[in-house]
Amino acid sequence: MKRLDQKIALVTGGSRGIGKAIALRLANEGAVVSIIYKSAAAEAQKVVAEIEAAGGKAFAYQCDASSSKEAADVVEKVAGQSKRLDILVNNAGITRDGLLMRMSDDDWDAVIDTNLKSVFNFTKPASRQMMSQRAGKIINITSIVGVTGNAGQANYAASKAGIIGFTKSIAKELGSRNIQVNAVAPGFVETDMTHALTDEQRQKLAERIPLKRTAKPEEIAGVVSFLASSDADYVTGQVICVDGGMS
């Protein structure tokens, strides 16, 4: 039997990057995975196809994660299929970088709504289902930037720091119902965002990391898989930094 055999999992922002790697890993461990995407329908269907080709089971749902109604509707659909929701991974996120003096209200609001409000939007209805079944795992993807800060990313850092505070608070609220709530804080990861960097920029980046390289999305997914499993039944309210030693 696989570690997450027949567990029902929901991954927001699961069509590419870290979210895709998480969805694939959870499915490989035996979970039935529902992928939430906003606009990347083709990419989401490719992830579903990849999971099914490997013998797994997956679904894709379109949803604006910043909308509480859309998030609640999707959670109801996913939980309604099997009357359970065992694993929620809040991964949806965007960046709108810029120095504070030049940052628009729209750039601030878009990042806070997508990165932070979405965690509230999905966790609230998911926790209701988990409370009724008296078990569940909630894993929030934050960032090392939420711990250290970063010039030019006040909106992103604030959203990710907010996720850390949210994680610790909800872990205390839900602990008595056997629901574990943790956060994973990646450092620099090889995704579409880092692919836009020049070789020189990547080299400078690697020099700041004790392990002298960026992370692969699969390395983040491995930690999420651990937190989603029974191996982490006594781990809650924690922020695990997967950053090559940067922090």
8 pLDDT above the threshold of 80: yes
- Nearest residue to 116 (alpha-carbon basis) of 100, 97, 140: 140
Chain-centre distance for alpha carbon 214: 18
Residue 59 phi, psi dihedral angles, 5° rounding: -135, 160
Calculate what percentage of the chain has a pLDDT beyond 70: 99
CA gap 245, 88 in Å, rounded = 27
Instruction: Write phi, then psi, for 113 (nearest 5 degrees).
Output: -65, -45
Is pLDDT larger for residue 39 or for residue 193?
39
> So which residues are the catalytic ones?
156
Of the pLDDT bands very low, low, confident and very high (cuts 50, 70, 90), residue 206 is: confident
Q: What is the value of pTM for the model shown?
A: 0.95
